[in-house]
Amino acid sequence: MPAAQIEMREVGLSYFTPKQETEALRDVSLSVRAGEFISIVGPSGCGKSTLLSLISGMLKPTKGKVLIDGQEVAGTSPKVGYMLQHDHLFEWRDVHSNLLVGAEIRRMDRKKAERKASELMERYGLGGFARHSPSQLSGGMRQRVALIRTLVAEPDILLLDEPFSALDFQTRLSLADEVHRIIREQGKTAVLVTHDIPEAISMADRVMVMSKRPSTISSVYEIRLEDEGGAAGKDGRSGGGSAAMTPMRKREVGRFQTYFNDIWKELEAHVVSAG
Ligand SMILES: Nc1ncnc2c1ncn2[C@@H]1O[C@H](COP(=O)(O)OP(=O)(O)OP(=O)(O)O)[C@@H](O)[C@H]1O
Ligand SMILES: [Mg+2]
């Protein structure tokens, strides 16, 4: 079995303010293989963003350990890229220049970063937009720029914190397909946090459900949607396993609804027991 790329061992995280202690995470253990796509769902405020901050090294666990490639995380690392709900593009820079921001922070070789930015722009449909300003782009395109900006810095791991939640339904469906394809093609390991259960199921190899605070991982669903006859999809293509199917096609597989029901019930039980 391949070694884990991301590992959390009995991790706890408490926030301390002068007035109170908030125990966000308690005893979280997980292991993510290189190239795997994980989704995380859980009640609002349970600690999903906190978990990503721990993997990124922006937060240090109060208890336990976080490891990347077997090394304990100590601060942020170029191995990890972060994509957020809001794209944080700079309006005074054009698209091409925005794509270089992460590389500048990482002090990557400028020429190499420019080459990588141009290659990714061409490949992922932004070729004609290099000199546009972010305000001239649609919300979906802006998020694509944000993803490509993260990729220019060549991380092995992508952390995605509700990257589609500010978009309309139609855009988020098609962008999910695209982001899924880009991440698979680039062979990245991904951890996606989302409130949207169908999105979580359709994008990931495994869905992890978190409980209410102090939160832990209450269960893990291995997503297997390629097994059914219907998985070949309307275009007649088949094979390649679940990872090779687009999120849109996975939504059409019968078992999709079963996963949805199971996860929804589990989340509802957490919310009810919280209230
Ligand atoms: N910097 C901080 N200081 C104190 N408490 C914090 C801080 N950041 C988060 N918290 C608390 O920790 C808990 C977990 O927060 P977190 O943002 O990780 O949850 P979340 O699952 O991402 O929530 P949401 O679904 O709303 O995005 C919450 O109760 C939150 O109020
Ligand atoms: Mg959050």
Closest alpha carbon to 109 in 54, 141, 153: 153
Q: What per-residue confidence (pLDDT) applies to 236? A: 44
Whether 129 contacts 97, CB under 8 Å: no
* Protein residue whose Cα sits closest to atom 3 of ligand 1: 15
Beta strands 189-193; 37-41: pairing state: parallel
- Nearest ligand to the CA of 215 is 1
Distance in Å, CA 142 to ligand 1 centroid: 26
Q: What separation in Å is there between the alpha carbon of 161 and the centre of ligand 2?
A: 7
Ligand 1 atom nearest the C-alpha of 210 is 21
Which ligand sits nearest to residue 214's alpha carbon?
1
Q: Give me the mean pLDDT over the 37-54 stretch.
A: 96
| Number of the ligand 1 atom closest to the C-alpha atom of 16 | 4
CA atoms of 194 and 218, how far apart (whole Å): 16
Residues sharing a CB contact under 8 Å with residue 111, sequence separation 6 or more, in sequence order: none
Neighbours of ion ligand 2 (CB under 5 A): 49
Average pLDDT over residues 75-98: 90
pLDDT, averaged across the chain: 90
CA 220 to chain centre: 16
**How much distance in Å is there from the Cα of 213 to the middle of ligand 1?**
10
Give the lowest-confidence range in 84-88, 190-194, 213-217, 262-266.
84-88
Which residue has its alpha carbon closest to ligand 1 atom 2?
15
Q: Is 4-76+188-274 CATH 3.40.50.300?
A: yes
Question: Which residues form ligand 1's pocket by a CB distance below 6 Å?
Answer: 15, 17, 22, 24, 42, 44-50, 213
User: Average pLDDT in the 131-145 region?
Assistant: 92
Tell me: pLDDT of 140 over 90: no
> Which ligand is closest to the CA of 25, given by its number?
1
Model-level pTM?
A: 0.91
